[in-house]
């Protein structure tokens, strides 16, 4: 089984683009599993991944196409938590999408997408921001 980790934030547009990119990967839904994951940096209300509209939207698109979808959530710094989840789930591909930021913005605030690209030993599918 080929496993894809689809990392979503709260943005429906990026999650939709990521799900559509996964649907267009070679192979059939029967050969793949997709883990739709959201990382909570701070979650004092105890929210769940099922409450994240981007996660629900991505899961809906994939399930409508017959894909086997699992929802996952973690807490912590997004890049590190996603990389750890990728190892724990032994995923074959990480699908991410980033915000468009200036080089100064990236230097000041960091970039989850950039950290994942630089720190993982797994293939990464980067879906452009809308």
Instruction: Delineate the domains of the chain, giving CATH numbers in brackets.
Output: 2-127 (3.40.50.620)
Helix (H, G, I), strand (E, B) or coil at 57: helix
Instruction: Kindly calculate the radius of gyration of the chain based on its CA atoms and give it in whole angstroms.
Output: 14
Q: Are 97 and 128 in contact (CB under 8 A)?
A: yes
Cα(42)–Cα(29) distance, rounded to whole angstroms? 33
pLDDT at 69: 97
> Is residue 9's pLDDT more than 80?
yes
Q: With CA atoms as reference, report the closest residue to 54 among 23, 79, 21, 17.
A: 17
Cα(113)–Cα(70) distance, rounded to whole angstroms? 22
pTM for the model = 0.89
CA dihedral 94, 99, 104, 107 (to 10 degrees): -30
Taking only the tens place, the pLDDT of each residue in 90-120 is 999 999 987 665 565 454 345 788 889 889 9
Taking only the tens place, the pLDDT of each residue in 58-94 is 999 999 999 999 999 999 999 999 999 999 999 999 9
Ramachandran sector of residue 2 (left: φ over 0; alpha: ψ -120 to 50; beta: rest): beta
- The pair of three-digit structure tokens given for residue 123, joined into one six-digit string: 């293939």
């Amino acid at each position: 089984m080929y496993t894809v980790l689809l990392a979503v934030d709260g943005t429906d547009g990026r999650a939709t683009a990521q799900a559509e990119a996964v649907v267009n990967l070679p192979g059939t839904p029967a050969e793949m599993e997709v883990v739709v994951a959201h990382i909570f940096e701070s979650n004092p209300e105890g929210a769940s991944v099922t409450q994240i509209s981007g996660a629900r939207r991505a899961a809906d698109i994939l399930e409508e196409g017959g894909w086997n979808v699992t929802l996952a959530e973690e807490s912590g710094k997004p890049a590190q938590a996603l990389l750890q989840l990728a190892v724990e789930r032994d995923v074959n591909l990480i699908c991410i999408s980033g915000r468009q930021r200036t080089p100064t913005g990236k230097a000041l605030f960091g970039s989850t997408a950039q950290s994942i690209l630089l720190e993982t030993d797994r293939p990464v599918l980067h879906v452009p921001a809308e």
